[in-house]
Amino acid sequence: MGDAGDITLASYEAGANLYAARPYVMGEAMARYLARIAKLVEGGTILELGSGPGRDAEYLETFGVSVTRTDGALAFVEMMRAQGFTAEVLDMRTEQFNGTYDAVVANAVLLHLRRDEFEVVARKSRGVVSVEGLLAFTVKKGDGTSWSNAKLGLPRHYTYWQDSQLRQVLGSTGWETLSIETVVGSTADWLFVIARAN
């Protein structure tokens, strides 16, 4: 079998239209979480990793922040461009992050990284935030890893995290964990994380 991240990204590339077409209603906890990020950033700038169809970016921008949309899958980038937004292909595992932002945001994205890749992305994110900048992301709570064909009918790889593991990796990559909220999910609970550069 090939690299789990490559397989997962290929599934998003092929399944982007299906992903975007699925009925979606932003949950209350997510709306609150994004609003809190926007408030902390206060009209500033956000680098979003794995924007997908760009729903979170659109919501965040209603609070007056400016979001740089990126995704590893060209299909999502083209989808956002077709909606009139600027968007760039950025494979968070292999590519350099450029610029300076008040926050890096990745909703339901870093859960596709191996633990060593997560550490690399946390470090790269630290390198592009301003003083007291933020890293905000959501992952699934649990142990180990799994493959799932749910929703896209194509394989996606997941790494599950416990609070203590996240705090440890964040601490060792230049972040202070501000909050980890557990939110009930359909197959596994979610961890909504906000960390600040230290």
| Residue number with CB closer to ligand SAM (35 or 108) | 108
Between CA 165 and CA 171 the distance in angstroms is: 10
What's the start-to-end Cα distance of the chain, in Å?
A: 39
Where do runs of H (alpha helix) occur along the chain? 4-21, 28-41, 55-61, 74-82, 115-126, 163-172
- The dihedral built from the CA positions of residue 89, 112, 128 and 193, taken in this order, carries a sign that is positive
| Residue number with CB closer to ligand SAM (3 or 164) | 3
Shortest distance, CB of residue 13 to ligand SAM, whole angstroms? 7
Residue pair 195/176 in contact (Cβ under 8 Å)? The answer is yes
Shortest distance, CB of residue 131 to ligand SAM, whole angstroms? 26
- What are 131's two structure tokens? 């003083």
| Residue number with CB closer to ligand SAM (107 or 173) | 107
Q: Nearest 5°: CA angle at 131, between 63 and 50?
A: 55
Residue pair 110/175 in contact (Cβ under 8 Å)? The answer is no
| Residue number with CB closer to ligand SAM (89 or 168) | 89
Residues of this chain that interact with ligand SAM (CB under 6 A) are 5, 8-9, 12, 49-52, 55-56, 71-73, 76, 90-93, 107-109, 112
Shortest distance, CB of residue 16 to ligand SAM, whole angstroms? 7
Shortest distance, CB of residue 49 to ligand SAM, whole angstroms? 6
Q: Nearest 5°: CA angle at 53, between 135 and 79?
A: 130
| Residue number with CB closer to ligand SAM (91 or 163) | 91
Shortest distance, CB of residue 161 to ligand SAM, whole angstroms? 15
